[in-house]
Amino acid sequence: MALIVGIDSSTQSTKAVLVDADDGRIVETRTAPHPGGTEVDPRAWLDAVDTATEGLLERAAAVSVAGQQHGMVALDEAGVPVRDALLWNDTRSAGTARDLIDEMGGPQACADAIGSVLVASFTSTKLRWLRDHEPDHAARVARVLLPHDYVSLHLAAPGTDAFTDRGDASGTGYFATAEDHWRPDLLELALGHAAALPRIVGPGEAAAQGAGGAVIAGGTGDNMGAALGMALEPGDVLVSVGTSGVASAISATPVADGTGVVTGFADASGHFLPMVTTMNAAGILDLQARWLGVDHDGLAELALQSGPGAGGVTLLPYYGGERTPNRPDAAGTWTGLTPATTRADLARAAYEALLCSLADAVDRLVAATGVQPRRVLMVGGATKSAALRALAPAVLGCPVVLPPAGEYVALGAARQAAWALAGSAQPPTWPAPETTVLEADPTPHVREVYADLRERTSQWTPSGSTRPTLGTHHPEGTP
């Protein structure tokens, strides 16, 4: 029995799974937390992966790392970070995203070039921000990596050249997704000078060897990892409720949505992964639980005591600015509060807001790609919530397929590692997990009221623009 390690270096933590390569059975799961904030010393992720994989790597024949997409890991000649990494949910580069879109010939030209219209999440916009605001740092950048590339390199034998895959590369802003190659000219346009890029490793290829001799696969972005871990098929819509909220689907053909709603990423299997991403997801519930002084189980219990529509309370949950819709300067907005409002209503409104935002993401994905959803599947940390599971089919208005709680990004990385180890044409077929189908009577009026608030606030520009981003702000030493 060969054992494999799959790693998810995501926004809030590193998760590692030790898996049997024959059937995908998880033997052990470990996690280690990441620091909060939207700019992080990337060496913290190396410490976290060392902690999470301690004693596991020696047992593994192959390893692969999936990671949070887009983050800017800018290294000097010696491979040392020139500054903290700017993460996908850091919105300071919203203005430079607009500048770069103009310089690339407008939104559709941008989508045609790279598969997506730039928003602040993309790596290239962060490089341009660095050029404009920290020219001394920018001048020292010799190589740019993504978070998963940086962690993979750490696990590889000394002297290994950096490597990545097309899935994660497609979120940089300097990768021609449809044609499958880097666009070093676009990196140079953003940063102001050329810098080295990692080698692209094909789907299923072995990229390197670990210090102990294990095969290391190319790794990928966390959402591409989830698609591989769930063995996503055409017609499946995968909703992930982690730090970000994501609706994604496999496509055989590239997508270039000039409206910017759908990002046309590549996946880790040789296809494409059109996606709609929100910046405010599980953190909406974290914040609400803190405000109400309860834990997650307490929040769920409260929410289920209120009814659909939360006693007339509606929340637009764009606390940390939002990406879909593209409102980087937005803030959260509550309406309908009265003397009759209860704590249960406040809890309920938070779940309904999260689910309405995810429902918007699914609708936008379906409208822009024409995908006919056969199944809607849901994964991510917030699916541990009983209230989320109860309310999801009601707000989304369709049955929701739920796999057992698990680390599906890390499992996808393990599947990629097993693929590279086998050297086969296709990834290994592992038994599909037993799923539960969640069903409930639809509550369309909840979405109607939410949509009304979303549209009424579309022109609002809140004053006081510096505030922390949701999901990565840990006040007063809280986890």
Ligand X SMILES: Nc1ncnc2c1ncn2[C@@H]1O[C@H](COP(=O)(O)OP(=O)(O)O)[C@@H](O)[C@H]1O
Binding-site members are 69-70
Positions 370 through 429 that interact with ligand X (CB under 6 A): 380-382, 384-385
With CB under 5 to 8 Å by kind, the binding choice for 384 among ligand X, ligand 5SP, none is ligand X
Say whether 222 is catalytic: yes
Distance from C-alpha of 417 to C-alpha of 430, rounded to nearest angstrom: 13
393: enclosing H helix or E strand: helix 386-396
Q: What is the largest CA-CA distance in the chain?
A: 66
Closest separation between CB of residue 250 and ligand X, Å?
20
Strand partners, 334: 315
Positions 244 through 283 that interact with ligand X (CB under 6 A): 282-283
What track of x and - describes contact with ligand X for positions 440 through 479 (by CB under 6 A)? -------------------------------x--------
Closer CB to ligand 5SP, residue 53 or residue 69? Answer: 69
With CB under 5 to 8 Å by kind, the binding choice for 13 among ligand X, ligand 5SP, none is ligand X
Name the residue among 245, 247, 262 with its Cα closest to residue 116: 262
Q: Torsions phi, psi of 220, nearest 5?
A: -170, 180
Residue 386 in contact with residue 299, Cβ under 8 Å? no
Beta strands 62-67 and 3-9, pairing class: parallel
* Binding status of residue 13 toward ligand X by CB under 6 A: yes
Q: Work out which of 243, 277, 278, 288 binds ligand X, going by CB under 6 A.
A: 243
CA distances from 104 to 74, 96, 190, 404 (A): 23, 12, 11, 44
Closer CB to ligand 5SP, residue 11 or residue 306? Answer: 11
With CB under 5 to 8 Å by kind, the binding choice for 121 among ligand X, ligand 5SP, none is ligand 5SP
**Residue-by-residue DSSP string for 121-148:** TSHHHHHHHHHHH-HHHHHT--EEE-HH
Strand partners, 62: 4, 215
Name the residue among 351, 357, 399, 352 with its Cα closest to residue 378: 399
Closer CB to ligand X, residue 241 or residue 418? Answer: 241
Closest separation between CB of residue 260 and ligand 5SP, Å?
12
Distance from C-alpha of 342 to C-alpha of 94, rounded to nearest angstrom: 37
Distance from C-alpha of 405 to C-alpha of 384, rounded to nearest angstrom: 7
* Binding status of residue 69 toward ligand X by CB under 6 A: no
Active-site annotation holder among 8, 90, 149, 222: 222
Closer CB to ligand X, residue 243 or residue 357? Answer: 243
Closest separation between CB of residue 225 and ligand X, Å?
10
* Sign, CA torsion 70/73/74/75: negative
Closest separation between CB of residue 409 and ligand 5SP, Å?
7
* Binding status of residue 90 toward ligand X by CB under 6 A: no
Give contact residues for ligand 5SP (rule: CB under 6 A): 10-11, 68-70, 88, 121, 171, 221-223, 242-244, 246, 263, 277
With CB under 5 to 8 Å by kind, the binding choice for 246 among ligand X, ligand 5SP, none is ligand 5SP
User: Among all residues, which ones are annotated catalytic?
Assistant: 222
Residues that bind ligand X in the complex, under the rule CB under 6 A: 10-13, 242-243, 282-283, 285-286, 296, 380-382, 384-385, 471
